[in-house]
Amino acid sequence: MNILGPIINVLFFPAGLFVLIIGLAYLWVDRKLVAQFQNRIGPRWFQPLADVVKLFFKEEVVPDGVDARFFVGLPILALAAALTTALYVPLVGLQGAYNFPGDLIVVVYLLSVVTMSLALAGSNTASRFSLIGATRTLTQLFSYEAPFLLALLGPAIVAHSWQINTINTYAGTHWILLTQPIGFVIALVGLMGKLELPPFDAPEAETEIVAGAMTDYSGRGLAIFQLAKAVEMVVGLTLIAALYLGGIGNPIDFFAKTLILLLFLAGLQSLFTRFRIEQTVKWWRYAALLVLAQWVIMVVLGQGVLS
Amino acid sequence: MKAVLVFIDGILADWRQRQHLGGMPDFYKREVVMKDMPVAGAVGCMQELAQRYQLVYIGARPESAQAVTEEWLQAAHFPKGPVYTARTHADRLVLARQLKDQFEFAGGIGTRWNDNQLHLELGCLSIILKEFEIEWDTVRRYLLGKEYTALQTALTLLTPWAKATSQPETNRLDVTIEANDLIPAVKAIHASHWGYLAAITGLDPATPAKPAPAGQTAVAEGTLQALYHFCAGAIIVTLRTHTSRADARLTSICGVIPAASLFERELSEMFGITLTGLPHPDRLLLPDEWPDGVYPLRKDFDPAQIQLKPVAVASNGKNGKSGKFIVPIGPQHPALKEPGHFEFEVDGETVTGASVRLGYVHRGIERATEERNWTQNLYLLERICGICSHHHAFAYALGVEKLAGVEAPPRAQAIRELAAGLERIHSHLLWLGVAAHEAGFETLFMYSWRDRETVMDILEAFTGNRVNYSVNVLGGVKLDMTDEIAASIRRGLDFLEERTHHYLKVVTTDQAFLRRTRGVGTLTKEQAEEFGVVGPMARASGLTRDIRVESPYGAYKLFPIEFVMETAGDLEAKFIVRLRELFESYKAIRNILDHLPVGDLTARMPRKIPAGETVSRVEAPRGELFYYIQSSGGEMPARVKVRTPSLCNFSSVLQVAVGHQLADMPMLLAGIDPCFSCNDRMVVINGDETWTWEQLRRYGIEYYKK
């Protein structure tokens, strides 16, 4: 039993198969919503799954001039990192399978591992599109990482804990969204930056650099990267909902809150023109200042007022 | 023909030699009057005017002097025209009232205030000039128009080098010059800012070579010609140079006009004319495997003899010999849905250099026209481009009609303009979507393409096709407008007009979008002029370049278009110009539907077109479309040269690209609305199987039977 539990946790629920399915489902919701906003019909419900299945059966071309070990290993590392985060967040309203003080920091950095793997995969090949894409991915990572982290630590401070479960319980009685609106917006937009969604999709701007860091990927590697991103999306949404939207206590809470966030995300995606990379960096410079300003206010006013 | 009233005394006749006789009877004595000198320049200007106007002479002379006045005018070689004389101003006013019924006056030329009163009585333009010191250019400007002066200026500019000049049409000047004089002649035109280089046409007038003796290569006789067409408004000046066929060699004019580079590379590849001093003589259009020394547009070219040469494939991952980091865009790239190849040298995200390679879908259409009859070519040329197909057929039909001396009936002309308007709407909406997509603004892309379906449905209902509408026949059109279709067009236009207002608001107010367009890719007016850009590109930079306005063809005289211009020259201006042009198209189409002329749809065309050559220009959605058509009097053209607007605009984007961000490149490319199919008109397909026309025809019939 002692062994079976962790195995189930890792392979089926909450990480593993379950979060993969939820990830693909959320990917579909996102695509469908964006399509509706753009006056298109959009994909059928099984399309993301079908894409992944198709990619798994396609030949994986390993181009000349790449280190094959990294080329194959990096997508797996990305997916592994993304799946690990699913163990610590309150998916479907249940407590994280594992938790320890400071797991919030671990989750945030595991999410960055996904992006780092992508960037490394891009710079591992000789393709110019991949190289530029990797550079842009890293540039973007450095610009949003600090404000994103600061935005997630805001709730941690008021809850006096860096443990996701504790913050979640605390948030159940406090809508931190109302006291830290700036943090919420930055966290949500930071997630868009992490997922490279429009308008922060310069790293994979198809009209300039085809698919950015993933240009040379086909078949299995591409499918795994896509799955990692899908998982990242679910975990990110769960984290923001738990921290800012009054916590997640039960499945209805989970689906309602994350889907509302996804609706916002889809809306933002269809509203904007892609930012050039230097515009993205500039945007995040202001975002970092804003979130810092909020911290200063928190410190000045004291935690008593905010909590 | 309209008439011009010309006062004799002081304008045509310098009577000061008999001033001392004033008031005496001898003042109008024949011997004395005949000694009058014509005013300087008068005879020449009157002869020019007489080509377009009926001249009516009036003199403040007694009626007794009428005969001698007529004699004097004739003796001084003034053009023929009725002569009226009246002694007093009051009499002349009475005379004017009578003349008003006889002639339709366009203008009057006089020297005094009471001449002005006379002109007011006639209700025409009044030109009052200083006695005996007439500035004839003023007369020319107002009565012959600025085109006329442009033609005269060009003639004056080129006279030092002209070996022969002719004026085959009223708006065309053909100047033959020696190859050595090319540079100074082009410099003269360029330095005086006379117009822009519109195209370079190569000609191979030689008869095919005699079969060569065994073991020897055939040497064709004769000469090759290169025609440099310069345009200013409606005026086309052609510099005609010759070079020997055996050692074809001309000096590149890129040193004077850098924008000529693409034209010259095309000329050099197609005709084998070596252009000394060409900055980038690498291949532009022909495939890399194309053998050296084979020139497809020479008359002795034989496609069966082509032996493709092997080409080394560049290994991937190496950044070329230069060691620079080059980002290739195309021929297969998501930013360019059509096959062109651009190479951008980048330093980080900043572009430091750019080059272009075309020809991936070159189909040899120019050559193919020489092997098909006039009617077949209409359908062939229509297939040069899927987006501006009607404009290609339109330009060709207009040109052939001009050569044949046939004019399409007014109703046909109006329907042609209507189809052209619809095509422009669909093209501009398509462009709006593509440009938005390049900027990553997918929502605008989807919305504009959804709305574009409205005009596509209209086109389909009207012509039966979504692409290649096949509206034209030589001598008219094959489709008539019915009330039902007119009503559906009106409905569609109302909807589109509302949407266009919305899009105009989006592209001028959406902050995120403006950050990608405002001040990006700015092409100043001077640069635009230097690079010879055409169409919306030129109009976004403040150049007044629109063939529909400058040189109205077909029904554009009857249903004119207002000029749309912006001066900023950046991407935003290009959006605004194209969207505002849509409103002009809506207006013109409604105007045509309201006042569609009645009558025939076609005029009879001869099967053989009389020998001659002509230039036909129309304003396609992307800019000036230039056709040069030459007939040798047979059933097939001797040469059809097509210069599409994109070719003019490419060089501008390559220059502007430097210093911009890599992220702006797709937008800059989209900004010119490039059309690669238009540029590329040749391809060689080397399959195992070769089908004859008959086999192909049978295959087509069998295919559609299924």
Considering only the beta carbons, identify the residue of A65, A128, A274 that sits closest to B439.
A274
Q: What is the CA radius of gyration of chain B?
A: 29
Closest CA to B641 of B653, B655, B649, B631: B631
What's the mean pLDDT in B339-348?
79
Helices and strands, number each (H, E), in chain A: 14, 0
Q: What is the largest CA-CA distance in chain B?
A: 101
Residue A277 to residue B349, Cβ atoms within 8 A:
yes
DSSP element (H, E) containing B163:
strand B162-166
What's the mean pLDDT in A28-36?
92
pLDDT digits (tens, 9 = 90+) for A188-204: 888 888 888 888 888 88
B449 Cβ under 8 Å from any chain A Cβ = no
Residue A39 to residue B515, Cβ atoms within 8 A:
no
Q: Please, which pLDDT band fits residue A304 given cuts at 50, 70 and 90?
A: low
Q: What backbone torsions phi and psi does residue A120 show, to the nearest 5 degrees?
A: -65, -40
Q: Which domains does chain B have, with CATH numbers?
A: 3-134 (3.40.50.1000), 147-208+221-311 (3.30.460.80), 365-679 (1.10.645.10)
Burial class (CB in 10 A: 0-12, 13-18, 19+), B288: middle
pLDDT digits (tens, 9 = 90+) for A34-63: 999 988 888 999 999 999 999 988 888 888
Q: Please, which pLDDT band fits residue B679 given cuts at 50, 70 and 90?
A: low
Q: What is the structure's pLDDT at A33? A: 93
Residue A273 pLDDT greater than 50, yes or no: yes
d(CA A20, CA A16): 6
The strands making up B162-166's β-sheet, listed across from edge to edge, are B162-166, B172-177, B235-244, B223-232, B196-203
Residue B680 pLDDT greater than 70, yes or no: no
B331 within 8 A of B360, measured Cβ to Cβ: yes
Beta pairing class for B162-166 and B125-128: unpaired
Proportion of chain B above pLDDT 90, given as a percent: 12
What's the mean pLDDT in A79-107?
83
B347 Cβ under 8 Å from any chain A Cβ = no
Q: Please, which pLDDT band fits residue B207 given cuts at 50, 70 and 90?
A: low
Residue A210 to residue B516, Cβ atoms within 8 A:
no
Interface test with B, best of A37, A207, A209 (most B CBs within 10 A): A207
Residue A32 pLDDT greater than 90, yes or no: yes
State how far Cα B264 lies from the chain centre.
Answer: 19
Q: Please, which pLDDT band fits residue B210 given cuts at 50, 70 and 90?
A: very low
Residue B648 pLDDT greater than 60, yes or no: yes
Q: What is the structure's pLDDT at B317? A: 40
Considering only the beta carbons, identify the residue of B436, B441, B443 that sits closest to A37.
B443
d(CA B436, CA A274): 10
Residue with the larger pLDDT of the pair B41 and B585: B585
* Token reading at A128: 């110019």
Closest CA to B327 of B687, B664, B695, B704: B664
State how far Cα A59 lies from the chain centre.
Answer: 28
Q: Please, which pLDDT band fits residue A30 given cuts at 50, 70 and 90?
A: very high
Total Cβ atoms within 10 A of residue B74: 12
* Cβ neighbours for B697, distance < 8 A, ≥ 6 positions apart: none
Distance from CA of B289 to the nearest CA of A (A): 25
B327 vs A contacts (CB less than 8 Å): 128-129, 132, 209
Which structural domain range is residue A65 located in?
4-306
If one counts the domains in chain A, the total is: 1
Residue A132 to residue B662, Cβ atoms within 8 A:
yes
Least confident of B113-122, B147-156, B374-383: B147-156
Q: What is the structure's pLDDT at B582? A: 92
Tell me the pLDDT of chain B averaged across its residues: 82
Residue B208 pLDDT greater than 50, yes or no: no
* Cβ neighbours for B47, distance < 8 A, ≥ 6 positions apart: B77, B78, B79
d(CA B1, CA A300): 90
Beta pairing class for B105-110 and B3-7: parallel
Residue A201 to residue B440, Cβ atoms within 8 A:
yes
Eight-state DSSP code of residue A220: H
Q: What is the structure's pLDDT at B455? A: 92
Secondary structure string (H, E, C) spanning A48-70:
HHHHHHHHHHCCCCCCCCCCHHH
Tell me the pLDDT of chain A averaged across its residues: 85
A38 Cβ under 8 Å from any chain B Cβ = yes
d(CA B307, CA B473): 39
**HSE of A224, CA atoms in CB hemisphere, 13 A:** 21
Residue B46 pLDDT greater than 70, yes or no: yes
Q: What is the structure's pLDDT at A8? A: 75
A125 within 8 A of A158, measured Cβ to Cβ: no
Residue B320 pLDDT greater than 70, yes or no: no
Q: Please, which pLDDT band fits residue A211 given cuts at 50, 70 and 90?
A: confident
Residue B442 to residue A65, Cβ atoms within 8 A:
no
Strands (E), chain A: none
Residue A270 to residue B663, Cβ atoms within 8 A:
no
B7 within 8 A of B109, measured Cβ to Cβ: yes
Residue B286 pLDDT greater than 90, yes or no: no
* Cβ neighbours for B524, distance < 8 A, ≥ 6 positions apart: B541, B569
Residue A259 pLDDT greater than 60, yes or no: yes
Question: Which residue of A lies nearest to B434 if distances are taken between CA atoms?
Answer: A207
| Four-CA torsion A115, A119, A122, A126, nearest 10 degrees | -170
Considering only the beta carbons, identify the residue of A37, A40, A206 that sits closest to B334.
A206
Q: What is the structure's pLDDT at B215? A: 45
Residue A301 pLDDT greater than 50, yes or no: yes
Proportion of chain A above pLDDT 70, given as a percent: 97
Closest CA to A85 of A130, A19, A41: A19
Q: What is the structure's pLDDT at B217? A: 46
* Token reading at B557: 């005289």
| Four-CA torsion B278, B279, B285, B287, nearest 10 degrees | 100
Residue with the larger pLDDT of the pair B680 and A292: A292
* Cβ neighbours for A283, distance < 8 A, ≥ 6 positions apart: A275
Amino acid at A41: I
Q: What is the structure's pLDDT at A77? A: 92
pLDDT digits (tens, 9 = 90+) for B61-97: 888 888 888 888 888 888 888 888 888 888 888 888 8
What's the mean pLDDT in B110-116?
84
* Token reading at A88: 């610590």
Give me the interface pTM, i.e. the ipTM: 0.83
Residue A279 to residue B450, Cβ atoms within 8 A:
no
pLDDT digits (tens, 9 = 90+) for B226-240: 889 998 888 888 988
Residue B212 pLDDT greater than 80, yes or no: no
Residue with the larger pLDDT of the pair B211 and B503: B503
DSSP element (H, E) containing A219:
helix A219-244
B372 Cβ under 8 Å from any chain A Cβ = no
Least confident of B419-423, B521-525, B679-683: B679-683
Residue B442 to residue A38, Cβ atoms within 8 A:
yes
* Cβ neighbours for B280, distance < 8 A, ≥ 6 positions apart: B261, B265, B355
State how far Cα A25 lies from the chain centre.
Answer: 15
d(CA B5, CA B12): 12
Least confident of A75-84, B493-502, B519-528, B665-674: B665-674
Give the bridge partners for B276, in sequence order: B251
